[in-house]
Copies of this chain bind each other. A is one copy, B any other.
């Protein structure tokens, strides 16, 4: 998969990005923050051009019959742009994640090992309609010392071109080479980008589940993100119903389009008779369609029957499937079978059940007596969120700036050789951690 047409202009672009990124990687915090402020100012100066370009995008999209939710994401008014520019300045205020010493150890007198955080290199970010996503991503990339190749959705091309033009103009007066930021606009380039594993260190796809899955299956570059968000809420037999009902409503209906909303409600059989009619009433007030398994239908005869497919579906809508389980273990087995390792929660007053649930549910976020909707980098206090990963390896769950960095081992000696520490008269290492 690493073979490609050497004549590809994308390789030249990626090479320039890599070159600029390697210089950006060693800039001081001050220099990076100056560049971020220059971006904010350049975006302010280019406000009219950006908004004009967005109007043109919106008009073209309307004439092509763009669906309403997509149109709302595409539209960039003065207010949204101002917020996005404020977001750039917020990123400037975040702590610099680069150059942190994670390990500082003397291996022997004069032989000193350090493990130090450094940027990943070049990020490939593929997003869809929201043009202000480009603004946020670029500021996070610069802050973390990474180059970034952006690919925007075709609806947002004019807006993103205006934004990236302003950003590059802003950077041109700073220590950051504007080549560190690139914009691609065609689907053909997306496919090429996925092949550039020599030039791109991380892909972050933002889009539909099927698009993310497509990216995961078509690149050798590490992918940060998640295809599905099939989250569960389990109401234990020892649940406090006065907590369980509002948490269920919040987890499903507060904002059902997002990945941390629940799709399936699991209910312990011994609490179902009391709990289900109450929660059904509360959910139906919020216009949530309910689909139940056989036992649920006995208690809620007016709802739709759930099929096997419901347990594996992310509705992202006002629909909730409900299943009655015999035990905590039954709930855990269902979650580990059908869940997507994103976020799952238990409502109970029994601390032993919590311990079992926390220990045996294999998801990035596991909650007790609170809504799954809290699974979010901003709510966790990360200051920024670059994505939510459902992979098993770190970074896992909501990922802030730390998902854009890696580390190097740096060692300094004074002529030290391994032969000294080998063989019959081998010298021992001291392995003293230094403060």
Q: Report which A residues bind B (CB closer than 8 A).
A: 1, 22, 25-26, 105, 107, 111, 113, 115, 120-121, 201-202, 217, 220, 222, 240, 242-243, 246-247, 249-251, 254-255, 336, 354, 358-360, 362-371, 373-375, 379-381, 391-394, 396-398, 406-419, 421-422, 429, 431
Contact = CB atoms under 8 A, between A and B. Distances in A.
Contacts of A250: 417-419
A222 to B, nearest CB: 5
Interface of A is mostly: mixed
B415 A247 contact: yes
B412 A354 contact: yes
Given A111-B374, A415-B242, A364 B409 contact: yes
A243 B360 CA distance: 54
Nearest to A412: B368
Contacts of A379: 107, 418, 421, 429
Contacts of A393: 120, 201-202, 222, 406
14 contacts: A26-B359, A202-B392, A222-B391, A249-B417, A254-B417, A254-B419, A367-B410, A367-B411, A368-B413, A369-B413, A369-B415, A371-B416, A392-B406, A398-B409
A409 B379 CA distance: 13
A120 B222 CA distance: 18
A379 B420 CA distance: 12
A319 B412 CA distance: 26
A374 to B, nearest CB: 6
A391 B393 CA distance: 14
Contacts of A391: 222
Nearest to A403: B393
B414 A380 contact: no
A409 B354 CA distance: 14
Contacts of A121: 362, 392
Instruction: State the oligomeric state as a number of copies.
Output: 2
A411 B365 contact: yes
Contact of A408 (B113, B120, B363): B363
B359 A25 contact: yes
B381 A417 contact: no
B413 A367 contact: yes
Contacts of A429: 379, 381
B409 A380 contact: yes
Nearest to A411: B367
3 tightest Cβ-Cβ pairs between the two chains A and B: A370-B413, A250-B417, A243-B415
B26 A414 contact: no
A359 B28 CA distance: 12
Contacts of A249: 417
B373 A408 contact: no
A79 to B, nearest CB: 16
A370 B111 contact: yes
Contacts of A396: 406-408
Given A202-B393, A381-B431, A412-B369, A360 B419 contact: no
A305 B333 CA distance: 64
A398 B410 CA distance: 12
A369 B412 CA distance: 6
B371 A247 contact: no
Most B C-beta atoms less than 10 A away, residue of A220, A364, A367, A391: A367
B370 A415 contact: yes
B413 A365 contact: no
Most B C-beta atoms less than 10 A away, residue of A222, A251, A392: A392
A336 B359 CA distance: 44
Given A379-B107, A379-B429, A393-B202, A358 B410 contact: yes
Contacts of A419: 250, 254
B417 A371 contact: yes
A112 to B, nearest CB: 10
Contact of A365 (B22, B107, B217, B409): B409
Contact of A380 (B113, B365, B368, B381): B113
Given A115-B397, A370-B413, 15 more contacts: A25-B359, A26-B359, A246-B417, A247-B415, A250-B417, A364-B408, A365-B409, A367-B411, A367-B413, A368-B411, A369-B415, A370-B412, A370-B417, A392-B406, A393-B406
